[in-house]
Amino acid sequence: MSARRRIAGFTLLELLVALAIFAVLATMAYAALNSVLTARKDVGAKSKRLAALQTALMIVERDIEQAAPRKIRDEFGDEQAALQGGGVGTTVLTFTRDGWRNPLGLARSHLQRVAYQFNDKQLIRQSWSILDRAPDTQAYSEVLLDKVTAVEVRFLGRDGQWSGYWPPQTSGDQKETVVPPPRAIEISLDVEGWGRITRLFRVPG
């Protein structure tokens, strides 16, 4: 009789205990797997944002280090300095740069006018296809970085003094016909999750 019971298999109680143990182990395994996937997702998102930050700073550096002393006329026909920035408004920096690539060999200048704007928590790069613009000239806008809470620009003059705007303000009797470019431009970005990031860029000339 006892041998027949052993051959019959597990009792209902034994099955319930086994199922309970399996459920506990499955829950623990799912929690561990979910934790790993969440961590992987967070690392991936941070890596993507870090890559975007590095790309944005690389583009800014490339533009500034190719700044050219070429004034332009805007869409209203007013003359604009070769490099200007700071002060108030969404546009924090605008200048003419050299080295505009032309892989198709188009009949255009190798100089390009670019501007950097801070608007709606975004760092935006603008560029124009021509230097001296017409009233209907459109700008090409590209978002370089988002989740930006503040942008600050400073300029290191040839006299070693820092200024929050460029060209520097001068009195009427001290006004120069040609303002030499600053020695360097310092740009500080406040980015969510990264804090304040400051970079110093050399200006040619």
**Local structure of 137: helix, strand or coil:** coil
pLDDT digits (tens, 9 = 90+) for 117-148: 999 999 999 999 899 999 999 999 999 999 99
Instruction: Check whether 34 has a pLDDT greater than 90.
Output: no
Mean pLDDT of all residues in 58-85 = 94
Q: Band of the pLDDT at 1, cuts 50, 70, 90?
A: very low
What is the domain-level CATH number for residue 126?
A: 3.10.610.10
Sign of CA dihedral 128, 130, 134, 136: negative
Average pLDDT across the chain, whole number: 86
What is the model's pLDDT at position 95?
96
Domain count, the chain: 1
- Which of 4-18, 54-68, 77-91, 159-173 reaches the highest mean pLDDT? 54-68
The whole domain housing 82 covers 1-205
Interior/surface letters 58-83, b for 16+ CB within 10 angstroms, e for the rest: ebbeebbebbbbbebebeeeeebbbb
pTM (2 d.p.): 0.75
